[in-house]
Amino acid sequence: MLGFLLCLSLALFIGLVWFVGTRFQFLVDDEGITIVHYVRTHRIPWEQVAVIEQSGSYWTTGAAVVVAREPAGRRITALATTDRMMLYRGENPFDTVRAGNAPRRPTLAAIEAHLRWIAAANARMQGRQDPWALH
């Protein structure tokens, strides 16, 4: 009976680690950015994004950091975009060595999407057609 309980607890622990460990996500779409962490999901619409940066701290090197407008200066680090997660994303880790401090692919994708949203928002405010819309 004790062996069964130990095996069951080990299986539950491994299942929990697998579930939590594979939960990381960083999604960029037309509506904003979604950052999925261990137990919390952050949905940040483009209106609330002030700037997108790249982390330089030790544990989160290369991670995309979203700085929110409200509350002012709130920083949310996307753990799925760290250099440590490159292999899980299917990227070549040696590209980091060659790139140095240049923005990584996930950060660049988020910055480009944010710039497109800003251009479209400015065009709408000026009464012009959305420059990124499909015709």
For 58-88, the pLDDT digits (tens) are 889 889 999 999 888 899 999 999 988 888 8
**Residue 81, pLDDT score:** 93
Average pLDDT on 91-115 reads 85
How far is it, in rounded angstroms, from Cα 42 to Cα 76?
Answer: 8
pLDDT, greater one: 43 or 70: 43
How far is it, in rounded angstroms, from Cα 86 to Cα 90?
Answer: 6
pTM of structure: 0.78
User: Is pLDDT above 90 for 116?
Assistant: yes
